[in-house]
Each structure stands twice: as structure tokens, then as C-alpha cells.
Amino acid sequence: MITQKQISLPEFSRGFHLISDFIESHLDLPDVGLLNLFIKHTSAGLTINENADPSVRADFETIMNTLIPENMPEYTHTLEGSDDMPSHVKSSIVGCSLTIPITNGRLNMGTWQGIYLCEFRNVGGRRNLIATIYS
């Protein structure tokens, strides 16, 4: 059986935000299956990483901004602000979807794993996810 639901996230500031609990609270998970999450935006992404120490999320932001800086004179897509083109590149590098196993009605991630919303815009607004559950 396949079910699908759109989840609207609250607005987050630029950065890497743990959203695992929010996602699980909005889904009716089966005993066993797979969850695919897809973000419907080109300037934000999804990833799984460290869920305990917030300094990891701060370091992610620092690393991404170092690797993909704003205001490069070579950028031609600049009408929407200095954070727009870098946000598209960051989104492509991080990715727009995740697939997570479901076991015993819970997302089956490692002890230290959590789902991040990677917000790459200074003002990204509300983000929408499509959650597809395969059971």
C-alpha cells in the first residue's frame, strides 16, 4: 500500500534545522515500510546527520558558506538576492529527498541520526514536503 501526504513546515531561519520529531508527529507510520521525503523547493534541502550536538548544524552552515560563497562576480542569476544562486547550488549538493526505513511504527534511524531541513535562503518562507509511505 502507498499513501502520500503534504507536510508544511513552519518558517525557519537560514541554517540546518532538526525536523525529525515534527515529521514523525505529522505521519501515521505503519509497522514496517519505507518513508520517502521530498522537498518541493530549489533553495532548500534535506539530509540526515548528527541529532545531539547543535554545533554540528552550525559547522554545516559554516562549511557550506565557505564552499559556496555569496556575491561571486561570476554569478549571473542574481535578481533574487545574493543568497539565491548559492542556495540553488547548495540544494543540488545536499539533495531534495530522503528514504528512511520504518520499523515498529517508527523511523528506523541510528541513535545519533536526525532529519535536517537545510534552509539556504535568508528568508525562505514555509517549506513543503511530500511524504510517501510504502507499507
Instruction: Give the pLDDT band of residue 92 (cuts 50, 70, 90).
Output: very high
Q: What percent of the chain has pLDDT over 70?
A: 100
Query: How many separate domains does the chain show?
Result: 1
Kindly report the CATH number assigned to the domain that includes residue 82: 2.60.120.460
What is the per-residue pLDDT for 122?
A: 95
Give the number of C-alpha atoms closer than 13 A to the C-alpha of residue 73, restricted to the C-beta side: 0
Average pLDDT over all residues of the chain: 97
What is the per-residue pLDDT for 55?
A: 97
Question: With contact defined as beta carbons under 8 Å apart, do 118 and 13 qualify?
Answer: no
The domain in which residue 14 lies consists of 2-134
What is the per-residue pLDDT for 62?
A: 98
What is the per-residue pLDDT for 87?
A: 98
Question: With contact defined as beta carbons under 8 Å apart, do 7 and 131 qualify?
Answer: yes
Question: With contact defined as beta carbons under 8 Å apart, do 126 and 8 qualify?
Answer: yes
What is the mean predicted confidence (pLDDT) over 90-116? Answer: 98
Of 39, 18, 56, the closest CA to residue 95 belongs to 39
What's the distance, Cα to Cα, between the start and end of the chain in Å? Answer: 5
Report the alpha-carbon distance of residue 36 to residue 29 in Å, rounded.
Answer: 12
What is the mean predicted confidence (pLDDT) over 45-73? Answer: 97
